[in-house]
Structure formats: structure tokens, C-alpha cells
């Protein structure tokens, strides 16, 4: 009986040892499990060694998975020159694309790379791609831009020129149209003058544009626009003034989550912007109201027949007549304008359109400075 007790005790101790050993082995196995990084992936756009790239390019890459089932996010790196990029442009990106909203330098080579992270210390890096940005535009024909319909058609073949400082910022735009207060029977009221210029000043997050004349014989009211920018250098508010009156209007700009313009609103007018799948402006629908907030005018603007060329106007949104062209990745060659005027007793309809035969160089770049 005594020996049986000893045998039972030994059996219990042995089982305890085996259980403890197994438990420790399982813990060791758990500790030895290695987190695996996300799968390899490829960069898509901007392609390697691309040239004439937009100053605000759209980057894209393959979506990748993780062998452990971890969620994956991305970090975009970029630097000037053909180097291994180290500057973080954006992190914790949940999609496989990113639109750069702050303009790059013109005619400059950049390197870019994307790193995928799994949230558990694992990461996978893409290859490094290089690209070179487009040249800045320094002049353009009025013909291609959205000037008032009442502009002398002969003036539309004239050119406006842009002056930049050493950093590439626009400091002056030379040549413009003004309201000459002509007899309506003439057929137009706006005419072009090389003596009209816009002076551009930068103060913090503001850009101030003032239209002036350098001809003593050509006296025009000062037309001042103050633009307020967000951290992405997008216009979020525009205040318009002249030397003859206080504030004329205040425009407030709103953007969607992808950074595209969605609306511009004033006290008595609202405009809504719609884009196609290629990030090109498709249409603008506007409503205008009287002081009693009754609808008095509806307009539809349509933009079509886009090419595949880089848009050189994309970074010139500060100028009114270039604004709609600046919103798209590519260049439209058809524009439709429809207006419905609403009164208490009736409605009237007006429609017109414009078509352009765009000119390109041997590399497929659109030339807005040739006619």
C-alpha cells in the first residue's frame, strides 16, 4: 500500500512535468512565429523615366496583400534628383493612389517610391522610379481661354505673357481685356490691351492680384482679388474689390476628399463642379438667386473632347479666364454654354458653344501660345 502511494505520487509528478513541458513548448512556438511583410508590388504611374509630367501628378501603384492577413497601408516618398527618396510626402495611405496637390518645380527630375506597412513592423518597398516635370508656360493666346463672349474676336489672337521670379512664382501677367463701355451696336464691349497687367503679391497664405494700366491714357478701375489658400495651396476663398467700391463679392471654394473642386458659393450664386473618371472637368451647373433667394438664372457648362496631353494650364488657376482649363488633367477642345433666365412670368433660353483645333509639338505637348 505504501509503495502504491509512492507510485501514484511519482505518476502525478511526471504528468505535471509533461504538461508543463508541453505548455512551455507551445509558448515557445508562439514566440517563434515570425511576422511576414506585405507582398511585393509594382509602381504604375508616374512611369519610370517619364518626361513632361504634370506639376501636380497622380501617383498609383498595385494594391498588395499581406500573407498574415494584416491590413496594409502605404507611405509615399519623393525627392528631387535620381536618388533613393527619403522625404515622406504622405503616410498611412489606405488606397493605391495619391494626387499631389502642391505643385512641383518645373523642368525638374524627381524620384519616388512607395513602402507598404502591415502595422506589425513588417514592410515591403517598391522599386524607385524617376520622372521629369513639364516646362512652365510663359505665354498663351486669349483664343484658347474662357474670356467674356463680348470680347472683340480679333483680339482673341493676341497673347498674354507671364513673368516669374527666380523661384518660379508668378509675379506679373501682361496683357488683358477690359470693359471699354462701347455702344452695344458695335457687337462687343471688351477689348484687349498690352498696357493692362496683373501684379501678383504673396503674403503668407494669401495671393493678391491687382489689375492695372501702365498707360496714362488708359484709365481703368483697379480690380483687386485676394485669394486665400489651404495647406495644399488650393484656393478656399476669393474676395473681389475695386477702387470704386468696397467688397464686391466673396467666393467660397469647397473640395471633395480626393482634392477635386466640388463647389463655389457666394451669397447669391452657387456652382457645382463634376469630373469624369479621368479627373477631367465634365460640367458646371450654376444657380443664381435674387435678394429674396428666388431662382432667377440657371446655367450649364459642358467640357468635352479631351486629348491625352498634359495640361500646361493646370497651375494657373489664379487667373479667371484660365480657371476652368486649370481644373483638368488634360485639355478640352469643346465647350457648351446654356443659360435659362427665369422671371415671374416667363423663361428665356440662350445657348452657344466653342470649338478649338489645338496645336501640338512633335512630342505631343499642346501649344496654347500658337494660333
Query: Can you give 97-118 as a three-state secondary structure string?
Result: EEECCCCCCCCCEEEEEEEEEC
| Single pTM value for the model | 0.74
Which residues neighbour 141 within 8 Å (Cβ) at sequence distance 6 or greater? 156, 157, 158, 159, 368, 369, 370, 371
- Output the pLDDT for position 9: 44
- Output the pLDDT for position 359: 95
- Output the pLDDT for position 17: 45
- What's the sign of the alpha-carbon dihedral 278, 264, 367, 226? negative
- Output the pLDDT for position 26: 47
> 3-state class of 207 per DSSP?
strand
> 3-state class of 284 per DSSP?
strand
Tell me the C-alpha distance between 311 and 273, whole Å: 18
Q: How far does Cα 304 stand from its chain's mean position? A: 19
Which residues neighbour 229 within 8 Å (Cβ) at sequence distance 6 or greater? 205, 206, 207, 235, 236
- Output the pLDDT for position 58: 86
Provide the CATH number for the domain formed by 139-355 in this structure: 2.40.160
Is residue 195 within 8 A of residue 214, CB to CB? The reply is yes
- Output the pLDDT for position 153: 62
Provide the CATH number for the domain formed by 43-133 in this structure: 2.60.40.10
Sketch the domain layout of the chain as residue ranges.
43-133, 139-355
pLDDT along the chain (371 residues), means of 10: 47 46 48 83 93 85 93 96 93 90 85 95 95 88 83 76 86 87 72 91 94 89 90 90 76 92 95 96 97 94 95 90 94 96 93 94 89 81
Vertex 237: Cα angle to 231 and 242 (nearest 5): 135
Tell me the C-alpha distance between 331 and 335, whole Å: 11
- Output the pLDDT for position 356: 95
Amino acid at each position: 500500500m505504501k509503495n502504491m502511494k509512492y507510485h501514484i505520487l511519482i505518476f502525478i509528478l511526471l504528468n505535471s512535468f509533461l504538461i508543463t513541458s508541453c505548455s512551455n513548448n507551445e509558448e515557445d512556438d508562439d514566440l517563434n512565429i515570425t511576422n511576414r511583410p506585405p507582398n511585393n508590388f509594382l509602381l504604375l504611374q508616374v512611369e519610370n523615366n517619364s518626361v513632361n509630367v504634370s506639376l501636380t501628378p497622380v501617383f498609383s501603384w498595385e494594391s498588395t496583400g499581406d500573407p498574415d492577413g494584416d491590413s496594409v497601408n502605404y507611405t509615399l516618398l519623393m525627392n528631387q534628383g535620381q536618388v533613393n527618396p527619403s522625404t515622406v510626402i504622405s503616410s498611412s495611405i489606405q488606397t493605391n493612389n495619391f494626387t499631389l496637390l502642391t505643385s512641383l518645380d518645373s523642368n525638374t527630375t524627381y524620384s519616388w517610391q512607395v513602402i507598404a506597412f502591415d502595422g506589425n513592423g513588417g514592410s515591403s518597398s517598391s522599386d524607385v522610379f524617376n520622372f521629369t516635370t513639364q516646362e512652365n508656360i510663359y505665354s498663351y493666346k486669349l483664343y484658347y481661354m474662357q474670356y467674356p463672349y463680348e470680347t472683340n474676336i480679333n483680339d482673341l489672337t493676341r497673347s498674354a505673357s507671364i513673368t516669374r521670379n527666380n523661384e518660379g512664382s508668378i509675379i506679373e501677367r501682361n496683357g488683358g481685356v477690359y470693359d471699354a463701355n462701347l455702344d452695344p451696336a458695335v457687337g462687343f464691349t471688351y477689348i484687349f490691351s498690352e498696357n493692362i497687367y496683373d501684379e501678383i503679391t504673396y503674403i503668407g497664405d494669401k495671393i493678391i492680384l491687382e489689375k492695372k494700366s501702365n498707360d496714362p491714357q488708359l484709365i481703368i478701375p483697379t480690380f483687386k482679388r485676394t485669394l486665400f489658400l489651404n495647406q495644399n495651396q488650393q484656393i478656399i476663398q476669393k474676395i473681389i474689390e475695386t477702387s470704386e467700391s468696397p467688397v464686391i463679392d466673396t467666393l467660397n471654394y469647397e473640395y471633395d476628399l480626393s482634392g477635386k473642386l466640388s463647389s463655389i458659393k457666394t451669397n447669391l450664386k452657387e456652382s457645382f463642379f463634376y469630373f469624369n473618371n479621368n479627373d477631367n472637368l465634365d460640367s458646371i451647373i450654376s444657380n443664381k438667386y435674387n435678394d429674396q433667394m428666388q431662382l432667377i438664372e440657371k446655367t450649364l457648362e459642358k467640357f468635352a473632347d479631351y486629348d491625352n496631353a498634359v495640361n500646361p494650364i493646370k497651375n494657373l488657376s489664379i487667373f479667371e479666364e484660365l480657371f476652368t482649363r486649370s481644373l483638368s488633367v488634360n485639355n478640352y477642345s469643346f465647350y457648351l454654354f446654356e443659360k435659362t433666365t427665369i422671371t415671374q412670368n416667363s423663361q428665356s433660353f440662350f445657348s452657344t458653344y466653342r470649338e478649338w483645333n489645338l496645336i501640338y509639338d512633335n512630342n505631343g505637348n499642346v501649344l496654347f501660345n500658337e494660333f
